[in-house]
Amino acid sequence: MILFYDFEVFKFDWLVVLIEPETKKKTVIVNDPDRLKAYYDEHVSDIWVGFNSRRYDIYILKAILLGFDPKEVNDFIIAEGNDGWRFSNAFNRIRVNNYDAMAGVIDRGLKYLEGSMGNDIRESSVPFDINRKLTEKELDETIRYCTHDVEQTIKVFLQRKSDFYAQLGLLKMFNLPMSYISKTKVQLSASILDAQKTKFDDEFDISFPDTLRLNKYLYVKQWYENPDNLNYEKSLETTVAGVPHSFGWGGVHGAIENYYGEGYFINMDVASLYPSLMIRYDLISRACDGSKFKEIVDLRLKYKAEKNPLQAPLKIVINGTYGASKDKYNPLFDPRQANNVCIYGQLLLLDLIEHLEPVCQIIQSNTDGVLVKLRDNSQQAFDEVDDIAYEWEQRTGLVLEFDEHRKVIQKDVNNYIIVSPDGKYKSKGAYVKELSDLDYDLAVVNKAVIENLIHKSSVESIIYGCNSLKDFQLTKKISGKYESMFHGDKKLSERCVRAFASKHPDDGGLFKLHAKRESIAKVEGTPDHCRLVNTDINDMGCPSWLDRDWYVMLANKRISDFLG
């Protein structure tokens, strides 16, 4: 069974709310370690799901079961910034099948996700630093607040359930214990590949692919050969095929800025670039058996061709392996191999660009692909590109996937829209990204920008024609660097708010107070006059105070940024 839980810890009180969706049962335990122990014993084989539970809640649970003061563990993690597992080796004695619904560092917190979903994001009025026992009223409010967070965690989990079931599928496929559901993707990769922690002292022992054929841009390879450049802070800024490019220790990036073009475009992506490089050039971490990694890649390709859902769990291992080779705490850690994978990818892509440059226009290149514009729509123009790509594939052992497009609107390498022949589009970047329930800010501006750039639609007609308040929301959350937020002169208890542009002159701006410098700064991207609505807004229409002109102005500015 899957259950969801969340702890709240104060100096003299603690409580936990546990919800079992399957039975619709809610359990609330307050300051009662014996009852918590009984619940744990009954559910020790179940899967406990929390938000940020891998970093926090799991250690509060273990602390109480072991008789430690949960407040000490809370402060050890929150106030002092330590990893919870460092508090005591005794934590290892308590087994919990914990699954964290938080998607790592990309998440900006549960409240932010709640805000994106249009849900209530009001904070409890009970301060966590209260220096006494909570009153009955305060306990009731905290329980309501905690229950709300557990319910929201369930909603986040449902949005991401495919990740959970893929990870569960891995455990079944490789006969791993259920406790491994607690591991991150890179930790699972190391376990499945039987990685053994090994110390390597050759981090910058750089090599180059023997299939590389560079002439005009040979100096890029020579940049990596220069010992002075063996530094992660350094990069090479240069012009390749008339396009500004950056090479370094992450991935190649280059694009014509503020580009708008129609015609015949081909996007060539290298299929599974990093896994393919690791297999073809023997660049898998030396801390594991590379043959097992190849078997997993081959099996996933077979399942993918068969449309077998088992391909999804295998993708976790494949994608996690490169990241694990850069993680010094992971048994797969092998920085030399990670660096070589990155360099091989950049130089082989440069090789492709050098050979394509005489027959087509390079529009953009990124870590694993290149976007080009053909001279015209003739078969000859296509065949010239196709022949070069085929020769490159045969020589390098990598595979290119072709996608045709008819329009490209590009601000830079990280912000663009590409439109395929059937009118469908792909987009990337904060201004035009595909929105989801868990990432839903300024949706009306996003839509206005995309529709204007692709179809020349009127920004005003889209923004004034929308009557969903949620589409105008701007959710803002301050980090730990800031002590608090202010709405005008009013100090807020919330650290995450939902703001809207207001026509009312008495509605103040949104500001944040730096914890150390004690300086006030405007919260970036917010209007001068804000109204905050932190309640559930999913069924709300647009009120008369909403300043639609501010959204029109913002959309037009973003369009101008795109087109230069």
For the chain, the residue count is: 564
Distance between CA 82 and CA 524 in Å, rounded? 29
Distance between CA 151 and CA 21 in Å, rounded? 10
Q: Is residue 297 part of a domain?
A: no
Do 16 and 103 lie in a common domain? yes
Angle formed by the axes of helices 311-324 and 161-173, nearest 10°: 90
106 pLDDT above the threshold of 80: no
β-partners of residue 531 are 500
Of the candidates 46, 48, 51, which has an alpha carbon nearest to the alpha carbon of residue 1? 46
> Which amino acid is present at 491?
K
pLDDT of 241: 97
Q: Is residue 194 part of a domain?
A: no
Distance between CA 247 and CA 218 in Å, rounded? 13
Q: Is residue 289 part of a domain?
A: no
Q: Is residue 61 part of a domain?
A: yes
Of the candidates 446, 406, 401, 444, which has an alpha carbon nearest to the alpha carbon of residue 425? 406
- Provide, rounded to the nearest whole percent, the portion of the chain with pLDDT above 90: 86
* CATH number of domain containing 406: 3.90.1600
pLDDT of 344: 97
Q: Which pLDDT tens digit goes with each residue over 542-561?
A: 999 999 999 999 999 999 99
Of the candidates 528, 534, 521, 524, which has an alpha carbon nearest to the alpha carbon of residue 493? 534
Do 415 and 481 lie in a common domain? no
Count CB atoms within 10 A of the CB of residue 377.
10
Q: Is residue 246 part of a domain?
A: yes
Q: Is residue 331 part of a domain?
A: no
Do 125 and 226 lie in a common domain? no
In 205-252, DSSP assigns E strands to 236-240, 243-247
Among 423, 457, 479, where does a domain finish?
A: 423
The residue whose two tokens read 């406790």 is 179
Query: Which has the minimum average pLDDT: 186-190, 385-389, 403-407?
Result: 186-190
46 pLDDT above the threshold of 80: yes
Q: Which pLDDT tens digit goes with each residue over 277-301?
A: 999 999 999 999 889 999 999 998 8
Do 459 and 512 lie in a common domain? yes
Confidence bin at 405 (pLDDT 50/70/90): very high
Q: Which pLDDT tens digit goes with each residue over 305-364?
A: 898 888 888 988 898 899 899 999 999 999 999 999 999 999 999 999 999 999 999 999
DSSP state of 247: E
Range of the domain at 96: 2-160
Distance between CA 516 and CA 513 in Å, rounded? 9
Do 46 and 148 lie in a common domain? yes
Distance between CA 355 and CA 257 in Å, rounded? 22
The residue whose two tokens read 């934590």 is 91
pLDDT of 504: 95
Do 413 and 455 lie in a common domain? no
For the chain, the domain total comes to: 3
CB 385 within 8 A of CB 249: no
DSSP state of 312: H
Do 358 and 270 lie in a common domain? yes
Q: Is residue 183 part of a domain?
A: no
Mapped to the 3 state alphabet, what secondary structure does 78-120 carry?
CCCCCCHHHCCHHHHHCCCEEEECCCHHHCCCHHHHHHHCCCC
Of the candidates 533, 531, 497, 468, which has an alpha carbon nearest to the alpha carbon of residue 112? 497
CB 428 within 8 A of CB 415: yes
- Provide, rounded to the nearest whole percent, the portion of the chain with pLDDT above 70: 100
pLDDT of 104: 72
Q: How many angstroms from the chain centroid is the CA of residue 501?
A: 28
Q: What is the mean pLDDT of the chain?
A: 94
Among 389, 423, 457, where does a domain finish?
A: 423
394 pLDDT above the threshold of 90: yes
Do 144 and 212 lie in a common domain? no
Do 136 and 228 lie in a common domain? no
Distance between CA 470 and CA 473 in Å, rounded? 5
pLDDT of 105: 64
Burial of 204 (0-12, 13-18, 19+ CB in 10 A): middle
CA distances from 463 to 5, 98, 113, 432, 444 (A): 40, 44, 24, 15, 6
The residue whose two tokens read 């220790």 is 249
Give 411's contacts (C-beta < 8 A, 6+ positions apart). Answer: 257, 258, 429, 431, 561, 562
Q: Which pLDDT tens digit goes with each residue over 507-543?
A: 999 999 998 877 899 999 999 999 999 999 999 999 9
Do 124 and 210 lie in a common domain? no
Q: What is the mean pLDDT of residues 160-182?
A: 91
CB 188 within 8 A of CB 163: no
Q: What is the mean pLDDT of residues 40-53?
A: 97
Q: Which pLDDT tens digit goes with each residue over 482-511?
A: 999 999 999 998 999 999 999 999 999 999
Distance between CA 41 and CA 64 in Å, rounded? 13
Do 417 and 272 lie in a common domain? yes
Do 43 and 153 lie in a common domain? yes
Burial 335-370 (b: 16+ CB within 10 A, else e): bbbbbbbbbbbbbbbbbbbbbbbebbbbbbbbbbbb
CA distances from 164 to 50, 101, 149 (A): 12, 8, 19
Q: Is residue 437 part of a domain?
A: no
pLDDT of 301: 87
563 pLDDT above the threshold of 80: yes
